[in-house]
């Protein structure tokens, strides 16, 4: 790999991390069971990084942004805080490899399936087993459709699956609380999926315009979601 290409990758990595850090400081909603854990604006576009930068660099940029935010926010190094770094990484993987080779499809399907099993192995969570049915959404979306909204919905529910399993095993929750969360979860995840879809289309066009002029060879865009002017 030549140094010029490496330099450009670093530039885009730094830009994404900077935007992600700002978005991570803007809270959207509080997680049930904790007054110190929040969903942030980052949930509305984070998974798209793996589509534009590729799975490895995209996931790496998300992890870097989260680690910097972890330090800057002065978060305590404890299991639940460390494990909460994982959901967005898995969401990015799902979104980034959605249209790629079949071997990735198997991994995308396996992740929510494993989460369903792990959730129902927790004695209290098992009393609200129906809550884990949310995680059939990324499985069905991956198998039957390449629609952008369903891809986004699958990504955000993949993150939700990972996060919920972590929550079930680390934070005391009752079956009633899990049941109460059903309409809240549905609303939040639809909003996140809409945000991911809209931000993906916006970034896809902006970055395609930039790539057409800079010719970095670094950014990946999808022609299906380009405006007509950019396609011509």
What is the tens place of the pLDDT at every residue in 158-198?
Answer: 999 999 999 999 888 999 999 999 999 999 899 999 999 99
Cβ-count burial of 108 within 10 angstroms (0-12 exposed, 13-18 middle, 19+ buried)?
buried
How much is the pTM? Answer: 0.84
| Across 122-149, average pLDDT | 93
Cβ-count burial of 131 within 10 angstroms (0-12 exposed, 13-18 middle, 19+ buried)?
buried
How many Cβ atoms sit within 10 Å of the Cβ of residue 149? 15
Please give the C-alpha separations between residue 150 and each of 46, 141, 153, 184, 193, in angstroms, as whole numbers. Answer: 16, 6, 5, 19, 8
Poorest-pLDDT segment among 15-24, 85-94, 112-121, 218-227: 218-227
pLDDT of 136 above 50:
yes
Owning domain of residue 17: 3-231
What does the pLDDT look like over 87-113, one tens digit per residue? 999 999 999 887 666 677 788 899 999
Residue 98: its pLDDT value, please? 77
3-state secondary structure of 198: helix
CA separation for the pair 150, 188 (Å, rounded): 15
Task: Calculate the average pLDDT of the chain.
Answer: 83
Poorest-pLDDT segment among 7-11, 142-146, 168-172, 194-198: 7-11
The total number of structural domains that make up the chain: 1
């Amino acid at each position: 790999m030549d140094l010029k290409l490496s330099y450009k990758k670093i530039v885009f990595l730094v830009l994404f991390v900077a935007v992600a850090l700002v978005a991570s400081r803007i809270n959207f909603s509080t997680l049930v069971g904790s007054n110190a854990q929040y969903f942030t604006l980052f949930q509305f576009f984070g998974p798209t990084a793996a589509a534009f930068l590729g799975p490895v660099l995209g996931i790496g940029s998300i992890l870097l942004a989260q680690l910097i935010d972890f330090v800057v926010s002065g978060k305590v190094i404890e299991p639940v805080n460390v494990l909460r770094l994982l959901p967005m990484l898995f969401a990015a993987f799902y979104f980034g490899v959605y249209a790629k080779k079949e071997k990735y499809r198997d991994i995308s399907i396996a992740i929510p399936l494993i989460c369903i099993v792990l959730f129902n192995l927790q004695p209290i969570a098992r009393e609200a087993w129906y809550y884990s049915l949310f995680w059939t959404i990324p499985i069905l979306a991956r198998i039957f459709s390449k629609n952008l909204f369903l891809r986004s919905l699958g990504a955000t529910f993949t993150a939700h699956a990972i996060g919920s399993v972590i929550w079930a095993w680390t934070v005391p929750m009752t079956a009633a609380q899990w049941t109460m969360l059903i309409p809240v979860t549905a609303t939040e995840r639809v909003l996140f999926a809409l945000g991911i879809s809209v931000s993906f289309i916006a970034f896809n066009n902006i970055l395609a315009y930039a790539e057409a002029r800079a010719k970095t060879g670094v950014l990946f865009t999808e022609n299906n979601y380009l405006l007509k002017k950019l396609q011509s």
